[in-house]
A and B are shown apart, each in its own frame.
Chain A
Amino acid sequence: MTKQIHLAAHFPGVNSTTVWSDPASGSQIDFESFRHLARTAERGRFDFFFLAEGLRLREAKGRIHDLDVVGRPESLTVLAALAAVTTHLGLAATVNSTFNEPYEVARRLASLDHLSGGRAAWNVVTSFDAFTGENFRRGGFLDESDRYSRAKEFLETARELWDSWAPDAVAADPEAGRFLRPGGVTAFRHQGRHFDISGLFNVPRGPQGHPVIIQAGDSDEGREFAASSADVIFSRHSRLEEGRAFYRDVKRRLAAYGRRPEDLKILPAVTYVLGDTEAEAAERAAEIRRAQVGPQQAIYFLEAVWGRDLSAYDPDGPLPDVEPDLDEGVSRGHAAFRRDRGELVAKWRALAEEKNLSIRELAIEVSAPQTFIGTPRTVADEIDHFVQTDAADGFIFVPHLTPGGLDELVDKVVPLLQEKGVFRAEYTGPTLRDHLGLAHRDPALSEPAAPVPAPRTKENR
Chain B
Amino acid sequence: MTLHLAVALDGAGWHPAAWRAEGARPDRLFTLAYWADLVAEAERGLLDFVTFEDALGLQSTRLNEPDERLDQVRGRLDAVLIASGVAPLTSRIGLVPTTGTTHTEPFHVAIGIASLDHISGGRAGWRPQVSGRPDHAAHFGRRVLPPLDFSDRADPAFTRHVAGLLGEAADAVEVVRRLWDSWEDDAEIRDVATGRFVDREKLHYIDFQGDWFSVKGPSITPRPPQGQPLVTSLAHDRQPYEFAARASDVVYVTPRDREDASAVVEQVREAEAATGRAGPPLKVFADLVVFLETGGAADRKARLDDLDGGEFVSDAHVFTGTPEALAGLLLSWREAGLDGFRLRPGELPRDLVAITRGLVPELRAAGAFRTAYDTGDLRGRLGLPRPANRYATAS
- Chain A residues positioned under 8 Å from B194 (CB to CB): 296
What are the interface flags for A114-139 relative to B under an 8 Å C-beta threshold, 1 for contact and 0 otherwise?
11110000000000000000111101
Count of A interface residues, CB-CB < 8 Å: 77
Q: How far is the CA of A74 from the CA of B129 in the complex (A)?
A: 20
Query: Does A367 sit within 8 A of B, measured CB to CB?
Result: no
Instruction: Find B118's partner among A29, A63, A70, A196 (CB 8 Å cutoff).
Output: A29
Q: Do A103 and B197 have beta carbons less than 8 Å apart? A: no
Task: Contacts A71-B220, A137-B213 given; indicate if A115 touches B31 (C-beta within 8 A).
Answer: yes
Instruction: Find A296's partner among B112, B116, B195, B198 (CB 8 Å cutoff).
Output: B195
Query: Does A179 sit within 8 A of B, measured CB to CB?
Result: yes
Within A35-83, the residues touching B (CB, 8 Å) are: 35, 54-57, 63-64, 66-74, 76-78, 80-81, 83
Count of B interface residues, CB-CB < 8 Å: 82
Query: Does B238 sit within 8 A of A, measured CB to CB?
Result: no
Q: Do A74 and B111 have beta carbons less than 8 Å apart? A: yes
Q: Do A174 and B66 have beta carbons less than 8 Å apart? A: no
**Chain A: which residue is nearest B204 at the CB level?**
A64
Query: Does A178 sit within 8 A of B, measured CB to CB?
Result: yes
Instruction: Find A179's partner among B32, B72, B197 (CB 8 Å cutoff).
Output: B72
What are the interface flags for B175-213 relative to A under an 8 Å C-beta threshold, 1 for contact and 0 otherwise?
000000001000010101011111110010000000011
Q: Do A204 and B75 have beta carbons less than 8 Å apart? A: yes
- Chain B residues positioned under 8 Å from A204 (CB to CB): 30, 75
Q: Do B220 and A57 have beta carbons less than 8 Å apart? A: yes
Instruction: Find B197's partner among A70, A177, A198, A459 (CB 8 Å cutoff).
Output: A70
Query: Does A108 sit within 8 A of B, measured CB to CB?
Result: yes
Q: How far is the CA of A211 from the CA of B123 in the complex (A)?
A: 29
Q: Do B32 and A84 have beta carbons less than 8 Å apart? A: yes
Report the minimal beta-carbon distance from A93 to chain B, rounded to whole angstroms. Answer: 11
Instruction: Find A170's partner among B75, B220, B307 (CB 8 Å cutoff).
Output: B75
What are the interface flags for B18-31 relative to A under an 8 Å C-beta threshold, 1 for contact and 0 otherwise?
01110010110111
Instruction: Find A198's partner among B76, B138, B195, B307 (CB 8 Å cutoff).
Output: B138
Q: How far is the CA of A341 from the CA of B41 in the complex (A)?
A: 61
Q: Do A460 and B81 have beta carbons less than 8 Å apart? A: no
**Chain A: which residue is nearest B124 at the CB level?**
A77
Query: Does A277 sit within 8 A of B, measured CB to CB?
Result: no
- Chain B residues positioned under 8 Å from A411 (CB to CB): none
Q: Do B198 and A71 have beta carbons less than 8 Å apart? A: yes
Q: How far is the CA of A204 from the CA of B190 in the complex (A)?
A: 45
Within A138-195, the residues touching B (CB, 8 Å) are: 139, 165, 170, 172, 174, 177-182, 185, 195
Q: Do A115 and B139 have beta carbons less than 8 Å apart? A: no
Q: Do B30 and A170 have beta carbons less than 8 Å apart? A: yes
Report the minimal beta-carbon distance from B100 to chain A, rounded to whole angstroms. Answer: 9
Task: Contacts A74-B108, A80-B81, A294-B195 given; indicate if A174 touches B68 (C-beta within 8 A).
Answer: no
Q: How far is the CA of A222 from the CA of B195 in the complex (A)?
A: 35
- Give the contact stretch, choosing among B86-94, B329-337, B385-393: B86-94
- Give the contact stretch, choosing among B54-62, B270-278, B344-352, B373-381: B54-62
Report the minimal beta-carbon distance from A75 to chain B, rounded to whole angstroms. Answer: 9
Within B62-80, the residues touching A (CB, 8 Å) are: 65-68, 70-78, 80
Q: Do A134 and B200 have beta carbons less than 8 Å apart? A: no
- Chain B residues positioned under 8 Å from A55 (CB to CB): 107, 220
Q: How far is the CA of A54 from the CA of B219 in the complex (A)?
A: 10
Q: How far is the CA of A54 from the CA of B217 in the complex (A)?
A: 12
Q: How far is the CA of A29 from the CA of B58 in the complex (A)?
A: 34
Q: Do B68 and A461 have beta carbons less than 8 Å apart? A: yes
**Chain A: which residue is nearest B307 at the CB level?**
A177
Instruction: Find B203's partner among A20, A64, A110 (CB 8 Å cutoff).
Output: A64
- Chain A residues positioned under 8 Å from B29 (CB to CB): 172
Q: How far is the CA of A67 from the CA of B50 in the complex (A)?
A: 40
Most buried by B among A178, A181, A202: A202
Q: How far is the CA of A111 from the CA of B86 in the complex (A)?
A: 13
Most buried by A among B80, B118, B136: B118
- Chain B residues positioned under 8 Å from A71 (CB to CB): 183, 188, 198, 220-222
Q: How far is the CA of A72 from the CA of B222 in the complex (A)?
A: 7
Q: Do A179 and B81 have beta carbons less than 8 Å apart? A: no
- Chain A residues positioned under 8 Å from B195 (CB to CB): 67, 294-297
- Chain A residues positioned under 8 Å from B212 (CB to CB): 137
Q: Do B107 and A72 have beta carbons less than 8 Å apart? A: no
Most buried by B among A55, A57, A76, A85: A57
Q: Do B74 and A179 have beta carbons less than 8 Å apart? A: yes
Q: Do B198 and A70 have beta carbons less than 8 Å apart? A: yes
Query: Does A99 sit within 8 A of B, measured CB to CB?
Result: yes
Report the minimal beta-carbon distance from A397 to chain B, rounded to whole angstroms. Answer: 22
Q: Do A72 and B200 have beta carbons less than 8 Å apart? A: no
Task: Contacts A21-B190, A72-B221, A84-B32 given; indicate if A199 touches B139 (C-beta within 8 A).
Answer: yes
Instruction: Find A197's partner among B66, B84, B138, B188 (CB 8 Å cutoff).
Output: B138
Q: Do B141 and A458 have beta carbons less than 8 Å apart? A: no
Q: How far is the CA of A170 from the CA of B56 in the complex (A)?
A: 19
Within A368-390, the residues touching B (CB, 8 Å) are: none
Within A79-105, the residues touching B (CB, 8 Å) are: 80-81, 83-85, 99-101, 103-104
Q: How far is the CA of A69 from the CA of B222 in the complex (A)?
A: 12
Query: Does A321 sit within 8 A of B, measured CB to CB?
Result: no
Query: Does A424 sit within 8 A of B, measured CB to CB?
Result: no
Most buried by B among A74, A180, A458: A74
Report the minimal beta-carbon distance from B244 to chain A, rounded to whole angstroms. Answer: 23
Q: What are 12 A-B interface contacts by the 8 Å CB criterion?
A: A77-B80, A77-B119, A101-B140, A103-B56, A111-B82, A115-B81, A115-B82, A115-B85, A134-B215, A172-B27, A198-B138, A459-B68
Give me the interface of B with A, judged by CB distance under 8 Å.
19-21, 24, 26-27, 29-32, 36, 55-59, 65-68, 70-78, 80-82, 84-89, 103-108, 111-112, 114-116, 118-119, 121, 135-136, 138-142, 183, 188, 190, 192, 194-200, 203, 212-218, 220-222, 307
